[in-house]
Amino acid sequence: MSKTKYVVFACMTLVLSTGLTVGLLLGLDLYLHKKFEKVAGLNIHGYRGPVVKRKQPNERRIVVLGGSTALGYGVAPQESFPAVLEKTLNERRRQEGGGPVSLVNLAYNTEGAYAYLFNLRSYKYLDYDVALFYTGFNDLGGLNTYVYRNTSPIFRLTGYMPIIPLIFQEKAMALRYGGDLEAAYRGHKTVFKPNLAERATASALDAAVKISQSLERQIGRLTKEPPIEEPPPSMDCGETWQHYCRSIYVAVEYALSRDRHAVVVTEPYVSDPHVEQQRAMVGMLKAKFGDHPRLRHLDLGRAVDLQDPRLCYDGLHLTAEGNEQIASLLVEPIMEILR
């Protein structure tokens, strides 16, 4: 074989093998999405629930942003408060002769207010009318700059959210944390010490995650890392809540500046610092936006007793009944906006 033919053959082999590998991974990822997205929580576009269709002329669309409490951690997708709220709003709209309402759940475990702006930008193609921020708890533990979807170059480049890394990573975390993924996400100490077999399995899954992430990094070289936003100056929230208030401000300002409605919802209080945080945030909203006609704050801090096992199963995350209670309190304020 001549040198030229050898180079051509080598290049063709490399292209074919790479294409085959990528094709197999994509096929496997699509299969796992179909099998596990209800458990893992995300569809192919990176949000919980079914993929929404193109927005219709008479349709109203709401995006929900928050952490695991908005995602509906621990309950089925249809039992999360966004899903319950969507069902109730559509019933009310039909009674009043209005068009359909679609809710898209963009929340994710551990994400705080810092992630809101990034998610609003990533999903601007959804053409939403209302951005609902269910906020508070995930910004109580200090500086939180976690933006889950932006860790995937594939998502940033294409809008497709691979599920293989999530499944393997969460399986490894669950093995180490006795099935308590929330503790794993928050970096708590392990609940138990896994046996040798479980340790080996977790290590193998970690290795698989690293391989997948390495492939993502190579594929993702065509896109740039999103810039870290430099927020505006002091929010007058006190030193403790500066980062949180700034993050809320830039997300709300982004929505309002694009003629969208912004609804900031204080989730049920878990502690006295949570109450203090929300007071500071509400003061900031009033100082920066005044009585803006497209901005509303809803205080659900006392709406649910987190110590009631019927409503909350772990002191933070709500049961199906608890989510129904939250949704019921959001129906009328949202209906007023949709009207």
Q: Of 148, 192, 155, nearest to 170 (Cα)?
A: 148
Contact 41, 48 (CB under 8 A): yes
Ramachandran quadrant class, 270 (left: phi over 0; alpha: psi -120 to 50; beta: rest): alpha
Q: How far apart are the first and last CA of the chain?
A: 74
Residue 38 DSSP SS3: helix
Angle 334-235-271 (CA atoms, 0-180°, nearest 5)?
65
The pair of structure tokens assigned to 243 is 């980062």
| Tens-place pLDDT, residues 280-321 | 999 999 999 999 999 999 999 999 999 999 999 888 999 999
> What does the pLDDT read at residue 36?
64
| Tens-place pLDDT, residues 166-212 | 666 655 555 555 555 445 444 443 333 434 444 444 444 454 445 44
Contact 222, 232 (CB under 8 A): no
pLDDT band per the 50, 70, 90 thresholds, residue 219: very low
pLDDT of 213 over the 60 cut: no
The pair of structure tokens assigned to 30 is 């699509």
Q: Of 264, 265, 338, 283, nearest to 102 (Cα)?
A: 338
CA 158 to chain centre: 18
| Tens-place pLDDT, residues 14-67 | 656 555 555 565 666 556 656 666 665 688 898 998 899 999 989 999 999 999
- If you average pLDDT over residues 111-116, what whole number do you get? 96
* Mean predicted lDDT score pLDDT of the chain: 80
Strands 130-135 and 101-105, by their bridges, are unpaired
CATH class of the domain whose range is 60-145+228-338? alpha beta
Rounded to two decimals, the pTM is: 0.77
Edge-to-edge order in the sheet of strand 130-135 = 101-105, 60-65, 130-135, 261-266, 295-299
Beta-carbon count within 10 A of 286 CB:
13
